[in-house]
Chain A
Amino acid sequence: GQQLNQSPQSMFIQEGEDVSMNCTSSSIFNTWLWYKQDPGEGPVLLIALYKAGELTSNGRLTAQFGITRKDSFLNISASIPSDVGIYFCAGPRDRDDKIIFGKGTRLHILP
C-alpha cells in the first residue's frame, strides 16, 4: 500500500537554528498535511498543501508541496523550545481518501 517516508527520524538542534525535514512517497499525493504532536496531546494540523509547487507559511513554519507530487518539505526558522515534539506528514490515500501518516520526525532542542 501507499507509504509516507519521513526523514530524519529525529533531530537534535540548538535553540535558534533552522530546521528542515521532508516526506517522500513512491506514489503521487494530491494533498500534503503537516501535523505536530506535543507529548500527551493529539496531533495539531500545522499546514495543508493542495497544489504542486505550493509554498505555504504559518508563522515560522514553511511547507512546500513538491512539484513531482511525491514529496513535501517542512522548514522551521529560528527554533524555540516549544518547537519540541513530533512532526508528522500525512495525506489521503488513493483508494478512499482516508488520511495516512508518516512515522514522524522527532525534534529535540539541546539545552
Chain B
Amino acid sequence: SAVISQKPSRDICQRGTSLTIQCQVDSQVTMMFWYRQQPGQSLTLIATANQGSEATYESGFVIDKFPISRPNLTFSTLTVSNMSPEDSSIYLCSVTSGPPYEQYFGPGTRLTVT
C-alpha cells in the first residue's frame, strides 16, 4: 500500500481566508481523491484529482470553492477558499494502489474555521 502524508495536520483559520492542503504519496499513483469528513460524520467525496487536467467534482462541490491541483503522479493540493465555520471538517487525501478499488488514506487535515 502507498504511504500518504498531508500538510498541515491541523489549522485554525479565520473566516474569509483560504487554506491550501498538500498531499504527498511515496509512489506514483493514477487516482487521487479528496474527501471531507464533517464532525461525527462519514466521508464524502469532494473530487477526483486528475493529473494533467481539471479535477472532477462531485455534486455540491465547485471548483471556485475547492480548487485542486495535481501537477504530477505523487502530489496534489486542495484549497478551501473563502472559508466559513461550516467548512470546519477533516479533509482527507486518498489514493488507489494495488488491487482494484482498494483505497488508502492520508492522516487527514483537521480544519477549524472561526
Give chain A's interface residues, CB within 8 Å of chain B. 31, 33, 40-45, 48, 88, 90-92, 97-104
Contact between A101 and B101, CB atoms less than 8 A apart: no
Nearest 8 CB-CB pairings of A with B = A42-B105, A101-B43, A103-B42, A31-B101, A101-B42, A42-B108, A42-B107, A43-B105
Residues in chain A near residue B102, CB distance under 8 A = 33, 45, 48
- Which of B41, B45, B92, B105 is within 8 Å of A98, CB to CB? B45
Q: B48 near A: Cβ within 8 Å?
A: yes
A-B contact count (CB 8 A): 49
Give 8 A-B pairs besides A88-B43, A99-B33, A104-B42 with Cβ atoms closer than 8 angstroms: A40-B107, A40-B108, A42-B92, A43-B43, A92-B101, A97-B101, A98-B33, A101-B43
Give chain B's interface residues, CB within 8 Å of chain A. 1, 4, 33, 41-43, 45, 48, 92, 94, 99-108, 110
A30 to B3, CA, bound (A): 26
Residues in chain B near residue A31, CB distance under 8 A = 100-101
B48 to chain A, nearest CB (A): 7
With contact pairs A88-B42, A101-B43, A103-B42 given, residues A40 and B104 touching in the complex (Cβ less than 8 Å): no
- Which of A41, A88, A99, A102 is within 8 Å of B101, CB to CB? A99
Residues in chain B near residue A90, CB distance under 8 A = 103
Contact between A33 and B42, CB atoms less than 8 A apart: no
B97 to chain A, nearest CB (A): 10
Residues in chain A near residue B1, CB distance under 8 A = 45
Residues in chain A near residue B108, CB distance under 8 A = 40-42
A57 to B41, CA, bound (A): 27
Nearest neighbor of A42 in chain B, beta-carbon distance: B105
Residues in chain B near residue A44, CB distance under 8 A = 105
A18 to chain B, nearest CB (A): 25
With contact pairs A31-B101, A45-B1 given, residues A103 and B106 touching in the complex (Cβ less than 8 Å): no
A83 to B43, CA, bound (A): 20
A75 to chain B, nearest CB (A): 21
With contact pairs A42-B92, A42-B107 given, residues A48 and B101 touching in the complex (Cβ less than 8 Å): yes
A101 to B103, CA, bound (A): 12
